[in-house]
Every structure is written in structure tokens, then in C-alpha cells.
Amino acid sequence: MKKTRLFLSMLTLLCLHNVMYAAVKTSFQSGNFSDPATWVGGAPAPWDDIVIATGHTVTLDANVTVFDITIQAGAILDNSTYIITIDNGLASGNPIYTNNGTHNGTGNIITYSNYDTEITGSGITNCTFEIVNYGLKPLNDCNLTINGNIQHQNPGNTGMNGKYFIQMSSGTLTINGNLITDATFGAVAITTSGTITVNGNVSLLGSPEGGSGATITNSGTINISGDLTLGPLSSYCQNDGSMIIGGDLLGSGLGDSYFWNGFNANLKLGGNVFPDPFGGLFFGIIEPAGGSSTEPNTIEYNGVSAQTIRVPDDAAYSNLIINNPAGVSMNSAIAVNGDLIVKPGAALTVDPAGTLAVTGAFTLQSDATGTGSFITSSATAASIQRYVSGYTDATHGWHLLSTPVAAQAISAFHTPGSTDDFYKWDEPTDTWINRIADGGGLNGSFETNFGVGTGYLVSYAATDTKTFSGSLNVSNASASGLSYTGASTAAGWHLLGNPFSSALTWNDGNWNLSNVDANCQIWNEANASYSVILPNGIIPSMNGFMAHASVDGASLTIPKDSRTHNATNWYKNAEQIAQIVLTVRDTDGQTAQPTIIRFEPGATNGYDCQYDSYFLPGFAPMFYSNSQQKSYALNTLSELSQGLTIPLGFVKNAGYQFVIELTENIRGQELYLTDKQTLQTVKLNDGPYVFGAEQSDNPDRFELHFGVVGIDDNTLADASLHAWVSNGQFYLQNEQGPVTLMVSDLQGRTLLKSNIATSGIYSQPINLTTGIYLVSVQTADSFKSMKIFVR
């Protein structure tokens, strides 16, 4: 028996001696781990330090145990399917894992030691770390990326009770996987003053030992893309730095599960907070168990799907930010001791069962990307920003503006003597009324405050963010006694405004339209023209819109029940429907005007208030359809038939070159456009039509044809027509008797026009540069055209 004990003691001393005097083995070349030729001085023994040198790839061919691992830049350690264990045996001191290269393999890295394994380097580890009884300790210069999990080994044991799972004072650690603890290991801790990024989930399952539990203590930065699970046993998270939880904050509540935000801490929540209402869960800004307040701090809801705000267990938020475009709702009493901010494009709703009380400033922010949106049934004081781009020329930079608060002074939005503009529309006189009187000074007939439900036309020299301040409008706004005066193109049009801090759904059944057309129009700043808004289309927050009264004394209600969240700053069209949209573009001034053709069985050939919309001119070229001597921006007909022809009007603006393109079409429909001035017909399905125009042109210039039926074949290119240019002389072979000849360029500019009385060869001097030109000949009953190329 004594001999046996002596033998075991000697074996232990031998093992201790081997660990204490571990060799450092550096790779000599690429090869298998067990091959002596791979290493300088032969293959490593257990608990040796290994160094994979630059340019070498060492591949495991069996499970191995080492003390320190160093992978130099440009080197590769490949586990293959085998396991590498980091262990200091019976020696003192922390094992060190240094990776500045690449560590691959489906086999895991097991840390099994009497001390934390220190990790560092800036390499890539494509393996999972399994922790047995001591955790990982990233060093200050760590910038390691782990494409795998960090997890407890399964099955676990209780050997980690009271120890660190990850202990990090500085540095950066990126984990493209999950952090998974095991409750059977007892109370473990994750603590950092550095930066930990987990592109996955974190499971802090807790400990059966209530009071201590498993913990996360963060005074640095922790970013989690997925869920953070606390529990089912006792566990807590204390955030004293910056933390992002991209998914849900979860906990079963079987034990005590806490989360609290510390002094000056910042927390971003992408999901919901403790959505399962179990006992034992605490979420707040005051440390539980009688702790003191940790205000101020900030919590931000920034998910991409709908979120519900959790009521803090200590009754109130400090500072609260809403940054979720999918919407955040309050269905209970929420108090904010500090400031509440709704970010541009984000949406906040106070449900009927909820209430909101804000002690500090409540701000809806706005920028070029959008405006914050807020819906509530209770009067709430707030500041609502509106981003307004400055004008770039005389046509771009106009906006239709309205107020979301009561008693907003216009003086905060317009300064007399500046280069800014502020107008209101007067239907009876068909006039834009300037806030500045002729000769300067304020117009005495102009109101002092914004009218609730009224729109205004504004233009600013510089891009700015304006602010409305006051009590939010939360009630219906009525517009009554709408006039219909005179016979001008603007008769019956009234500039109204969205009076709410959210978008509106136009004519969705709540508007109580009385002798008001079913379609409205909104100014499209980018196109410098009006666009039609169909029923169920969107009117953005704080946006003016033009509504048309069909008779004198019309009225409508702008309903609170039609409020909706939509982040668009200005113009937003309705959902896509089956319609035809032709758009003319001014290539010089960068303006555009669409005209719309739709088909409804109940429509007539005349003007239908429920289907049509009259044309409103802007700064773009005027482009509209004609019916019964009326001009339409939206023309709805009863049926689509092959051979249908629709007259289109066009009046140029200051530009000289224009393009008509088919921007929306009904599936399978062939559309042809005839230019009666150039005598040319083109198929719009094949591409846009480019043309020029003069101020003296006949406005009834175009026709739209549905299919080839009804198109005079002679308006298409005709092979029997012969024309050419030679030595500065134009020639035409005329076999048709009296004709009218016209030569134009592809922009539609007329270069030669002549009446020819007799048949035969006609010639006339002409000065043409190299290019393609259109020749057209008109008789009493036909058109013919062709293109010629001049060298």
C-alpha cells in the first residue's frame, strides 16, 4: 500500500513538473498537429504552449490539450472535427489564447483550467468556446471575432458557482453566435467595461441560489442583436453603460429576475420587455431592494416591428426615446420624468386604455427622411418639428403647410422683410394672398395665427426645421361654407390642412364629404406640380391639400378617426391600383406633370365628382386630358375599348425640351401617342416620346390611342413617301397633289413648313446639321411621315 501511494505521489510530481516547465512549440511548416515534422523540435506534448507561425496551416488529427495558444497573423489553426482543450493542469497562472490569424474547425475549444483563460488578438475564430469551470478574460488589446457560441459545456457541473463567465475590463469582443450559460453551474457573472457585441442571443439562466444569482454588469458597451433571457432562476442585469437588446428582454419569473438602467446609462430595446406577466420580474430605473434612483438615464424603443411600452416597476421612465417606424404603443399609464422624443420616421400611439404624462420636453423630431408621428385622444403639450427644404429656383421649394397645434402664431414661421414667402388661397377671388402687403409691411387682412384645418403656401430661402408648439389638436376639424365662385380653372378649390400630429387617410369613409369631390390634390414639391390623391391615399402630417367643392356651400369634416402613421414628410400617393399614368417632364427645369386615366363601370363621359379630378396648374408644363371642354388631372371613363381615343392637352412652361413617358399601365395594354403637330405616332410601351414646343403651339396637340384600332395608318412611317437632302437642298417626291409639308427635328421644333400646290419633285434650300429629322405630309384626308438622316 505504501508503494502504491509513493508511486502516485511521484506521478503527480512528474505531471506538475511537466506543466510547470511546459515547452513552447513553434510550427516549422504546414502539416498535421501530431506530425513531428510540423514543429521545431518535434510534436507538442500535453500542456505545451503552441505557436502557429505566419504562413503555416496546422491541422488537428486528434484531440489535444495545450496551455497557451498563439496564432500569428497570416497563420491558420484548423481543428477539423477534433477538440482542443486549453488547460493549465496543476500549474498557476492564466492560460492565454492569442489569435491574430484564423482558427477554423467544427471541433470546439474547451477552456478547462483553474484560472480564467485570457484571450486576445485581432483574428477570426471560427469555433465555439466551451467553458467548464473558469471563464474567458479578454485582455485590454483584444479585438477578437468569434464565429461561434460561447457556452457552458454540456452536461454542466456546479464548479463555476460565483465565478466569471466573461470578465472584461477593456478591449473589443465580437461574437457571431450565442452566449449560453447553464443554471447547473450556479451563479456566474458577465462583466465588462469594454465592448461586447453578440450577433445572436444571450441566455443568462440564473442560479437556484436566490439573492446572488447569475448576473450581467455592464459599465462599457454590450450590443445584443437577439434576445436577452434572464431566468428561469435568479438572475439580473445592471446596465451602467450603453446597451442594445435587438430582440426581446425575456424572463420566466420563477426566481427573482431584474433589469435596471443605471445613472447616465443608455438602453436600446428592439423588442418587448418581459412580455410574459410572471411574478418576480423587475424592470426599472431604480435598483430593486430599496436602491436609490439612478436618474437621469435613457431608454430607447428602436425595433423594426411593433412594440408595446413596458410600465417600469418603479413607476416612471427617466428619458424616453421612440425610434421605431413600425410603431410603439402605450396601453397603460406611462410617466416620463425627463424628456420624451419621437425620432424622425418613428410612430407612437397612446391607446384608449393608456395615458401619458411627460414632466420634461415632449418633441416630435423631423428631418429630410421623415417626421415623428403621434396619435392620442388626450390633449397633450408638445413641440412638433417640420423639416422644410429651401427653394433652389422659382419653381422648386414651395410647400403646403398646416398646424397640428392650437393658436400657433404665424410670426414664428415668417419674418416680414425676409426673402421667405407665406401665402393663403382665396377661392372667391382666385388669388394667392400674400402675408406681406404691397409696398411692404404686414397685410392687415391676414390672420395672426394658423387656422386649424387650413393650409398655407410657404417657401423659404434656406433649409430649416420649423417648430410648432402648444396643445396638440385631437378633435375633428370642420370646413363648412366652402364656396364655388366663377368659371376659372381654380373655381371650387380650397386649400385645407391636416390638423394632426400624424398622417391622415383621405376619404376613408370618415370624412363626411358634402358636395366635395372624392379626390383631393397635394403639391408635389419634386415635380413642382399637383398630384391627385385618391380615396384611402395619404395626406402627411402638417401638410396642406386642395379639396374641390362642386357647388357653393359645400363642407367636410377632417376626422380624428382617420389618423394613421406614415412618416413621409410631404407628398405620398395612394396604394398602387389599375390605372394609366402618363407623365410629361421638363428636361430643362426638372419639373413633371402626370395625368391619370382610370376606368370604373359607374363613370360617365362628363365630370363625375366621385371619380374625376379637375386639372390644377403648377410650375410644370400643363398636361391633362380633355373631355367636354374641361381639363382633367384624373379622367375616369366607364370602360376600356380597343380603338378608344382620348384627347390630351399640353401647354409648355419655360422649358424647351420635353418627354412624355408611360409611368403606369394596365397589364397587357398597348398605348399609342399621336403628336398632331409633328404628325408622328409612337408606341409608348416601347419608350418615351421626346419633343420640343413653342409658346404659340396649339394646346390640343396630342391624342392617346388604346391599341392600333382607330389610328390612321398614314400617321405612321410611310414607305411610299420619298424625301432627301443633298447639297443644302431639300427634295420631296410629291405624288398626291396639294399637300402641306413640314420638316421638324426630334424635339418637335418646326424647321420648314410649306404649302405645295402641284405634284412632282419639290425642292427648297435648307440648312440642316448632321442628324435625324422628321418629314410629314398632310393632305385633305391623310397624314404621312418618315425620318431622314442628314450627313
pLDDT tens figures, 483-493: 999 777 789 99
- Residue 590 covered by a domain: yes
- Residue 216 covered by a domain: no
Picking from 711, 733, 756, the residue at the C-terminal end of a domain is 711
Higher pLDDT, 597 or 152: 597
Higher pLDDT, 429 or 488: 429
pLDDT of residue 559: 98
- H-run or E-run covering 14: helix 2-20
Cα first-last separation, the chain: 116
Binned at pLDDT 50, 70 and 90, residue 656 comes out as confident
Q: Where are the beta strands (DSSP E) in 686-749?
A: 689-692, 702-706, 722-726, 729-734, 739-745
Residues 596 and 679 in one domain: yes
Binned at pLDDT 50, 70 and 90, residue 188 comes out as confident
Grid cell in block for residue 701: 396637340
- Residue 55 covered by a domain: yes
pLDDT at 472 over 50: yes
pLDDT at 11 over 70: no
Count of all residues that appear for the chain in the document: 791
Contacts of 390 (CB under 8 A, 6+ apart): 397, 460, 461, 462, 463, 464
Out of 52-56, 72-76, 283-287, pick the least confident: 283-287
Picking from 680, 711, 742, the residue at the C-terminal end of a domain is 711
CB 206 within 8 A of CB 184: no
Other CB atoms closer than 10 Å to residue 462's CB: what's the count? Answer: 11
Residues 766 and 673 in one domain: no
**Strand order in 281-284's β-sheet?**
24-26, 49-52, 69-71, 96-99, 117-120, 136-138, 163-168, 188-192, 214-218, 235-239, 257-261, 281-284
Residues 685 and 740 in one domain: no
Residues 705 and 726 in one domain: no
Picking from 122, 155, 180, the residue at the C-terminal end of a domain is 122
**Highest mean pLDDT: which range of 195-209, 310-324, 405-419, 672-686:** 405-419
Residues 728 and 688 in one domain: no
The average pLDDT across 611-640 equals: 94
Q: Model's pTM, two decimal places?
A: 0.84
Higher pLDDT, 728 or 541: 541
pLDDT of residue 21: 55
Listing DSSP states for 390-418 in one string gives: PPSSSSS-EEEE--SBTT-BGGGT--TTS
Contacts of 21 (CB under 8 A, 6+ apart): none
Grid cell in block for residue 619: 410650375
Residues 657 and 729 in one domain: no
**Rounded Cα–Cα distance for residues 692 and 685 (Å):** 21
Grid cell in block for residue 561: 378617426
Rounded to 5 degrees, what are φ and ψ at 354?
A: -105, 165
Higher pLDDT, 440 or 508: 508
Q: Work out the burial of residue 516: count CB atoms within 10 Å of its CB; fewer than 13 is exposed, 13-18 middle, 19 or more buried.
A: buried
Q: Which residue has the cell 414667402?
A: 421
pLDDT at 6 over 70: no
pLDDT at 17 over 60: no
- Residue 369 covered by a domain: no
Other CB atoms closer than 10 Å to residue 29's CB: what's the count? Answer: 14
Candidates 190, 280, 289; CA nearest to 241 is 190
What is the pLDDT of the chain when averaged over all its residues?
Answer: 88
pLDDT of residue 174: 97
- Most distant CA pair in the chain, distance: 138
- Residue 500 covered by a domain: no
**Rounded Cα–Cα distance for residues 582 and 704 (Å):** 10
The average pLDDT across 182-211 equals: 80
User: Using one digit for the tens of pLDDT, what is the confidence trace for 528-584?
Assistant: 999 999 999 999 999 999 999 999 999 999 999 999 998 766 554 444 567 999 999
Rounded to 5 degrees, what are φ and ψ at 562?
A: -100, 5
The average pLDDT across 364-392 equals: 96
Residues 729 and 706 in one domain: no
**Rounded Cα–Cα distance for residues 196 and 662 (Å):** 52
Higher pLDDT, 481 or 605: 481
Contacts of 142 (CB under 8 A, 6+ apart): 119, 120, 121, 168, 171, 172, 173, 194
pLDDT of residue 18: 45
pLDDT of residue 2: 42
- Domain containing 640 equals 580-711
Grid cell in block for residue 598: 382610370
Distance of CA 253 to the CA centre of its chain: 37
pLDDT of residue 287: 64
Candidates 354, 387, 390; CA nearest to 372 is 387
Binned at pLDDT 50, 70 and 90, residue 312 comes out as confident
Q: Which residues pair with 27 in a beta bridge?
A: 39
Binned at pLDDT 50, 70 and 90, residue 30 comes out as very high
Name the 3-class secondary structure at 16: helix
Binned at pLDDT 50, 70 and 90, residue 729 comes out as confident
pLDDT of residue 52: 98
Helix, strand and coil percent figures for the chain, each rounded to 5: 5, 45, 50
pLDDT of residue 280: 62
Residues 728 and 638 in one domain: no
pLDDT of residue 622: 97
Binned at pLDDT 50, 70 and 90, residue 790 comes out as confident
Residues 591 and 704 in one domain: yes
Percent of the chain with pLDDT strictly greater than 90: 64
- Residue 753 covered by a domain: yes
User: Using one digit for the tens of pLDDT, what is the confidence trace for 59-110?
Assistant: 999 999 999 999 999 999 999 999 999 988 766 789 999 999 999 999 899 8
Q: Which residue has the cell 421638324?
A: 744
Percent of the chain with pLDDT strictly greater than 70: 89
Q: How many domains does the chain have?
A: 3
Contacts of 661 (CB under 8 A, 6+ apart): 582, 583, 585, 684, 687, 688, 689
Q: Which residues pair with 477 in a beta bridge?
A: 558
- Residue 433 covered by a domain: no
pLDDT of residue 390: 96
- Residue 246 covered by a domain: no
Grid cell in block for residue 732: 420631296
User: What's 745's domain CATH number?
Assistant: 2.60.40.3080
pLDDT of residue 5: 42
Residues 727 and 784 in one domain: yes
Q: CA triplet 258, 262, 266: central angle to 5 degrees? A: 105
CB 251 within 8 A of CB 279: no
**Highest mean pLDDT: which range of 155-159, 167-171, 572-576:** 167-171
Other CB atoms closer than 10 Å to residue 649's CB: what's the count? Answer: 18
**Rounded Cα–Cα distance for residues 307 and 246 (Å):** 12
Residues 727 and 759 in one domain: yes
Contacts of 690 (CB under 8 A, 6+ apart): 657, 658, 659, 746, 747
Binned at pLDDT 50, 70 and 90, residue 15 comes out as very low
pLDDT at 19 over 60: no
Higher pLDDT, 294 or 119: 119
Other CB atoms closer than 10 Å to residue 381's CB: what's the count? Answer: 12
**Rounded Cα–Cα distance for residues 685 and 688 (Å):** 8
pLDDT of residue 201: 96
Residues 616 and 726 in one domain: no
**Rounded Cα–Cα distance for residues 429 and 464 (Å):** 32
Q: Which residue has the cell 440648312?
A: 767
Alpha helices in 278-326, H assignment, sequence order: none
Rounded to 5 degrees, what are φ and ψ at 266?
A: -125, 130
